[in-house]
Amino acid sequence: MSEPRVTVDRDGHLLLIGLNRPEKMNAADHRLLSELALAYGELDRDPELRVGVVYAHGEHFTSGLDLADIAPRIGASGLDMVPEGGIHPWGMDGTRVSKPVMLAVQGTCLTLGIELALASDIVVAASDTVFAQLEVARAILPFGGATTRFAAQVGWGNAMRWMLTGDRFDAHEAHRIGIVQEVVEPGTQLERATAIARTIAAQAPLAVQATLANARLAVAEGEAAAATRLPGELVRLMQTEDARIGVEAFMTRSTPQFVGR
């Protein structure tokens, strides 16, 4: 049996998802993309899992697509990469994982690596990370979400500066424009991302997922659509066992142990 392209490990309520093609700088071939989609599906389905942490084995996060493997697979309807039971990690088929995803990046983070950051919720980068959205240099356009999310997240000028030139930029620029939320010493990015993930996982999971979903709805359909959904969501959450646990912890000044029900 060959090594998996994506490793999957459980750490309490966390699912650690590791890109595992270090000899190719974690270039994404079809097998890696499919295994990553299956890992996202596992995260979404299992009620015991509350947060995903995506990282990379080796020195680099990803050098982008393995075009030699991927290009022949792109048909009239695009790239079919999500097997049964999987969820599109970049959310480009209209589905999104319902739980928060952390990213820990280092070394080289090109093209689909940036797009995975844009599709994730919190990104921690080693200070030595180098980014580039360089599809225009390969005579294609970004098709993992950069054209739809980059400008919305970082502003039009910032997005065009990097998408239209294909130039490389560093972790501090990625932090300045908002792709990255924290920059840390090289080698500590996974530890820091996992620490944040554990903090999220300690909160009431249904409330975390509802917060994430409502914020996404506001981005996708506007503030009014999200505001309309809020009262019903609040009523639903107040009827959960976790709401009772939270109120009891508040009254007794104790630490709540949420159960996700």
5 neighbors 21 (Cβ within 8 angstroms): yes
Residue 191 is a catalytic residue: no
24 neighbors 17 (Cβ within 8 angstroms): no
Q: Measuring CA to CA, which residue among 189, 64, 176 is closest to residue 127?
A: 189
Q: Strands, E, within the chain: which ranges?
A: 6-11, 14-19, 51-56, 101-105, 108-110, 122-126, 130-132, 168-170, 182-184
Catalytic residue among 23, 48, 135, 182: 135
Catalytic residue among 42, 84, 115, 173: 115
Tokens 């650690």 label which residue? 16
123-138 exposure pattern, b = at least 16 Cβ within 10 A, e = fewer:
bbbbebbbbbbbbeee
Residue 3 is a catalytic residue: no
**What is the identity of the amino acid at 226?**
A
Q: How many CB atoms lie within 10 A of CB 83?
A: 12
Q: Rounded to the nearest 5 degrees, what angle is found at the Cα of 224, between the Cα atoms of 219 and 230?
A: 90
**What is the identity of the amino acid at 48?**
E
CA distance 165 to 218: 31
For the annotated catalytic residues, the residue numbers are 115, 135
